[in-house]
Amino acid sequence: MNIKSILSAVAIIASFAVASVSFAGDDYGKKNKKDIVETAVAAGSFNTLAAALTEAGLIETLKGDGPFTVFAPTDEAFNKIPADQLTAILADKELLTSILTYHVVAGKVLAEDVVKLEAATSLQGTDIAVSTDDGVKVNNASVIKADIITSNGVIHVIDTVLVPEANAASSE
């Protein structure tokens, strides 16, 4: 399945979402009845992430009970990766799964908790560095929206795709 097919399928799924979720205003920080995947798809700015999760077979995991904390890269974050490299990553299920699980931490880690951490262990098994020196950063990614509460965890929106050190060389 190629990236255009996956993105088309995600767009169709998103169009059937019952309601759009706002990440600002009155809904910000309130308990969401949608899970992490439903919230991300309804937002409309995580199409590549949703496609990658589908390709890696991780949708059901992130629809599970959790709780999970997801550092979710936007479509713009994925666009920073050259198209040929992104296509290669999406085609390599093992690499893709490693990268995606590196964006997830077990438990519900809210912004007030993140700022107290120096690192968090990802589901991939390695640590994600956390810094508050220049805004909140996880590795080299800035958190651009925090504490999007879902029924099974929390999403923090980031501006860059995180790549575990062991995979950095193979994705460059």
7-55 residue pLDDT tens: 333 333 332 332 233 333 334 444 568 999 999 999 999 999 999 999 9
CATH number of 3-171: 2.30.180.10
Report, as an integer, the average pLDDT of 159-169.
78
If pLDDT is split at 50, 70 and 90, which confidence band does 3 have?
very low
Question: What dihedral do alpha carbons 52, 57, 62, 63 form, nearest 10°?
Answer: 120
The predicted pLDDT at position 33 comes to 87
CA 143 remoteness from chain centre: 11
Inter-residue contact 137 to 131 (CB < 8 Å):
yes
Q: Give me the mean pLDDT over the 99-119 stretch.
A: 92
Confidence (pLDDT) at 23: 38
Q: Which of the two residues, 113 and 101, has the higher pLDDT score?
A: 101
Q: What is the pTM of this model?
A: 0.79
Inform me whether the pLDDT recorded for 162 exceeds 60. yes
Does 165 or 143 have the greater pLDDT score? 143
For residue 5, what pLDDT is reported? 39
Task: Give, in order, the Cα–Cα distances in Å from 153 to each of 39, 49, 50, 81, 122.
Answer: 11, 17, 17, 27, 14
- What would the pLDDT profile of 55-83 be if each residue is shown by its tens digit? 999 999 999 999 999 999 999 999 999 99
Strands (DSSP E) contained in the chain are 68-73, 104-106, 119-121, 127-131, 137-138, 141-150, 153-158
pLDDT(153) > 70: yes
- The whole-number average pLDDT for the span 121-127 is 95
> At 153, phi and psi to the nearest 5?
155, -150
**For residue 167, what pLDDT is reported?**
52
Cα–Cα distance, 114 to 6 (Å, whole number): 33
Break the chain into its structural domains and give their ranges. 3-171
CA distance 97 to 131: 25
171 has pLDDT over 60: no
What is the rounded average pLDDT for all residues in the chain? Answer: 82
